[in-house]
Amino acid sequence: MKIDHLLYAAAFVSFIFFISLMGSGCAQIGSPTGGPRDSTAPLLVSSTPKLLTTNFTASKITLVFNEYIDVQDVQNNVLVSPFPKINPMVDFKLKTVTIKLKDTLLPNTTYAINFGNAIRDNNEGNPFTNFTYVFSTGNTIDSLQLRGQVIIAETGKKDSTIIALLYRNLEDSMVQKRKPDYIAKSDSSGNFRFTNLSAGRYKLYALKDGDGGKTYNSKVEMFAFADSAVLVTDSSSAVTLYAYTEEKDIKKGGTPASGIARPTSQAEKKLRYTTNLIGNEQDLLSGFIISVNKPLKTLDPQKIILTDTNYNKLAATVTLDSTQKNISIQTKWQEDTHYRIIVSKDAISDSTGLQLIKSDTIRFISKKENAYGSLVIRFSNLAAANHPVLQFVRGEEIYKSVPITTTQWSDKLFVPGEYELRILFDANNNGVWDPGNYTKKLQPEKAITLDNNLNIKANWDNERDIRL
């Protein structure tokens, strides 16, 4: 009996141990550690016809990869050169990509189909970056390249949405009439590259294609052109293009498309105004601005009067801007000083004869000088013949432009804030940036944006050294 009890006890212990192992095993299954993430791109196993095929006559191309793939955003990723009239149809299934050519192929021409980042593995989305299928309808594969860079002339910056256009026809108007023979996308550094070219002379342009037409047909489109035909050889040099917009794209608004004016409320029928005061303080460096809600027909400057606190009249100039909605009052402001502006009710009126409801007195104080920063900028390697202009930029607006004629420039009262600094090379010495003109074959003026912004602190001596 004792032996039976011992055997039973041993069996029971073994059973408990087995159950614990099973529980431990289940825990491991429930929380797998997983393997390393797949970070490799798909690999091309075969293609029909083969890569670099000459005397190509097929209408369909088949690409087989080593894993299941996905093809994304064909319209924006896949680029065919020379540029076809009809884009090919790209389809995929499992491990295979099929390209059906819809356009008639040119004789004795090398074609390149660049997939960009379109082809990816199905699991992790790793792209088969810039895979290019190349073939030729002639006896040889053209292998020459043309590299270049597009720079925005007004700022010296880059824009990856600008495309480079290449034409075999050297007629100047081709870029305005038809799509190019070759297209190359620019990267984040503005660089572009045409591949599989034959030797010869080409016309080179760049375009930020607003309407998708691949032609330069609007002066508000960003555009660039090479001064002369580009010669492509086995030792072609890189080409730099300077892009510009000949006219600013001004969005029009207001009246609905139907031409029927929106009804105005009773409040909107009143002539009202606002000012440019911030915290009831007047900037020492700019004018006092009165902005009205309707364009004015008449302004009587004698009825807008600047005074001190004792209502003594002070010298000031009162003008109306081109929009007929902003009245500027200019004077030499004294720091930390109280002022009054008296506006008579009949000082202004709109086209209907509407005037202010009543006369008004605006009270305010001018800023203290210690609300501004002192700035000194020193220049080295100055070439005055290039007419350099220093531009202080806030957002999209140029706050201040200063012609650089000496090795040091200073300003005791500069508005605090962060500024982007540009150097404009003002070819015609008129103080502003001038765009190009393709009709006149006139290149734009060029500018560069400095790497580090300038941060002006109030009541602080700010300094900066700039090497031109």
Q: Which residues contact 121 (CB under 8 A, 6 or more apart)?
A: 38, 40, 41, 42, 67, 68, 69, 70
Phi, psi of 415 (to 5 degrees): -65, 125
pLDDT band, very low/low/confident/very high, at 468 (cuts 50, 70, 90): confident
What pLDDT shows up at residue 108?
A: 95
Report the C-alpha gap between 60 and 56 in whole angstroms. 11
Closest CA to 147 of 190, 208, 107: 190
Report the C-alpha gap between 383 and 444 in whole angstroms. 19
225 and 154 in a single domain? The answer is yes
Write down which residue in 336, 367, 398 finishes a domain.
367
Is 413 within the bounds of a domain? Answer: yes
Highest-confidence range of 12-26, 74-88, 408-422, by mean pLDDT? 408-422
228 and 165 in a single domain? The answer is yes
Per-residue model confidence as pLDDT tens digits over 181-206: 999 999 999 999 999 999 999 999 99
Write down which residue in 95, 116, 136 finishes a domain.
136
Per-residue model confidence as pLDDT tens digits over 76-97: 899 999 999 899 999 999 999 9
85 and 172 in a single domain? The answer is no
Please give the residue range of the domain that contains residue 174: 144-243
Is 338 within the bounds of a domain? Answer: yes
Per-residue model confidence as pLDDT tens digits over 352-400: 999 999 999 999 999 999 999 999 999 999 888 999 999 999 998 999 9
The CATH number of the domain holding residue 448 is 2.60.40.1120
Is 18 within the bounds of a domain? Answer: no
216 and 291 in a single domain? The answer is no
Is 173 within the bounds of a domain? Answer: yes
For range 112-119, the mean pLDDT: 94
Is 428 within the bounds of a domain? Answer: yes
For range 247-253, the mean pLDDT: 67
Domain count, the chain: 4
pTM of the predicted model as reported, rounded to 2 decimal places: 0.80
234 and 293 in a single domain? The answer is no
319 and 348 in a single domain? The answer is yes
148 and 91 in a single domain? The answer is no
Q: Which residues contact 47 (CB under 8 A, 6 or more apart)?
A: 61, 62, 63, 64, 133
Write down which residue in 367, 387, 413 finishes a domain.
367
The CATH number of the domain holding residue 316 is 2.60.40.3710
